[in-house]
Structure formats: structure tokens, C-alpha cells
Structure 1
Amino acid sequence: MTFVHHPSNPLLTAILQRASALVFAPIEDFGIIPVEAMAAGTPVLANAIGGAVESVLDGVTGAHVHDWDSPSELRAAVDKALASSPAECRCAHSGSVKTSSPARSRGSSSGTCEEGAPERPSSPTPGRGS
């Protein structure tokens, strides 16, 4: 594991695009990091208390966690988040996602953004402008 203290915007985007999921446990009025992760196509595990529940759609763009001390709830939340497709993460919060089936897979794009919504690059490269 490597900690990057002040990543550039392109590096942060590349890290988020490659992540399986983002864990956002703080209780805040609003957190920009979950929104940035979803914009990169990455699902979010968010605290069920606080403002993140308004941007992270449980079962669509990630999962809400009510009890961080429960291994079974965390496992279920991880499974739910990993079932989110990158397209749903990028577009669902704006209401612009179309899904082709209820079964979703992180490795495939079961949903597509409508026209005008950004598409995720197939191979993100750190250092590329964003």
C-alpha cells in the first residue's frame, strides 16, 4: 500500500478510476471525495449517517454502512458496492443512466450514459490532463 499525500488532479483521477471501491466513513454534511470517486466510475461505501447518503445511492452507486463494527454488514456493503457498474456510478446521481439489466458487474458496463455524459477512458494514464 502506498500513501500519496497531495496527488495532482490527474493522479487522483487515475487512482480513483483504478480503485475497486472508495471507503468514506466520516460523518459530514457533504463530502466531495465520494462524488469525485463516482465521477471516475468507482462505487463508494459511505456512512449511512451524514450528507454522503444523498450522493451515494445505496445499491446503485455504492452502499450505505450503518454499523462499521459489524463484519457481516461490511461484507454485504462491499459486495453491494462491487456490483455497481462504472456507468451507474458516473451517471446515476444525475439521473442520466440507462441500465440494460438488473444484474450488474464491475467488470462490464451494464449501463451507459446518455448523450453528453462523460465516458470513462479505457486505460487511464497518470499525468494525463483531465
Structure 2
Amino acid sequence: MVNSARHRLDALLSEWSSFEECLLHDVRPVHFGFGVRMDINHVWGPDGQVRPDALERPVLVRLFLMGVQRLEFTGALNHAQLADPEQLDWGLTEIAVVRRFDVPDLVGLAVEWESERQLRVCFADFLLSVPDA
């Protein structure tokens, strides 16, 4: 199952261009903490340009990560961000890349930003839900 999930995740990341420049919209535990739901706002239009309504009308690609054994988030907020969180905007959630990493007996998924900010999850399997076209 894990090898299949790894291959499917590699294919997914290739198909969605590793979610580069997309926005992490939501992350939450599901099914009593057995899994994590991750919603990514896919900002790209069919023309390869950022959709002008990307913030107002998010196109959410939803990953259900199941059998989660580890969930780590590094905020890497600087002093200005901590001192004045009201000044934060959507840019804080803009993803540099989503990638798979190796972890024994599980699947590793890392959401990385241009700073040291990152989200890492180790899990057994996943499901994907994409919006209707």
C-alpha cells in the first residue's frame, strides 16, 4: 500500500506542478485524528496565468492524508510578523513547492515555502478530491 501511495503521490505532484505558487488554504485533523485534510487553492488558470479571482473564488484541491503518524509545522515567523499579525496577508500561505520525501514504511509529504516555513506529514495512504471543471 505504501509503495502504491508513493507512486500515486509522485504522479499527483507532477500533474499539479508540485502546487508551486499555490496557496495553502486549510489544514485540519479528520476522522478523530486518524488523518489530516489539506486544502490547497490552485491559483493557476487554463492559460497558465494566475486566475484574477484566485482569492475570491478558491479552487480547492483537497488531500486526505490517512494513517498520519507525524505532523510537524514550522512557522518561521519573523519579529515583525509576530509583533503585528494584522499586517499578514495571503502571501504567507504561498507555497514554493510540495514534494514527497523518504520515510521508512510511510509516505512523507512536505509543503515548503521560500523561507524556513514548512509543513511535514508522514502517513500511510491518501485520497484526492478535485473540484469539478
TM-score w.r.t. the length of structure 2 is 0.25
TM-score by length of 1: 0.25
User: Which protein is richer in strand relative to its size?
Assistant: 2
Q: Per chain length, whose mean CA-contact separation is higher, i.e. which structure has more relative contact order (CA < 8 Å, sep 6+)?
A: 2
Instruction: Compare the two structures and name the one with the higher helix fraction.
Output: 1
